[in-house]
Amino acid sequence: MPRSSQDKMVRSDSENILISNFPKDSQLETEDQIRGFELLRLAFFALKLRKFEQRHERARDETEYNFRCSLLRHAIFQQVLTLTKLGAREQAMQLIDACRK
């Protein structure tokens, strides 16, 4: 079933909610689309780091663990820089804080 660039989800109180997806040609065109995608990437890295840190006790190789954590922290830092340029630094910091909880 082909998906359009926007799907509708109907709430019980009959209000339509629009959930935007990638455009059909897979190109991010507006600044809002780019910002949303970069926030999604940041959430992925932040949650991956949290999951990895929670499993630290099970890590067999401390060097490998430290290396992977370092890579994820660097990716998070780069995402914050990108989002700062897009005017979404506060959203990025809120997202990071929410992922730590």
Q: Tens of pLDDT along 30-51?
A: 888 899 999 999 999 999 999 9
| pTM higher than the cut 0.75 | no
- Domain limits, the chain: 30-100
Sign of CA pseudo-dihedral 76, 70, 44, 55: negative
Burial tier of 49 (Cβ tally within 10 Å: 0-12, 13-18, 19+): buried
pLDDT at position 75: 97
Query: pLDDT band at residue 9, thresholds of 50, 70 and 90?
Result: very low
Q: How far is CA 30 from the centre of its chain?
A: 17
Per mean pLDDT, which of 19-28, 32-41, 49-58 is the most reliable? Answer: 32-41
Going by pLDDT thresholds of 50, 70 and 90, the confidence category of residue 91 is: very high
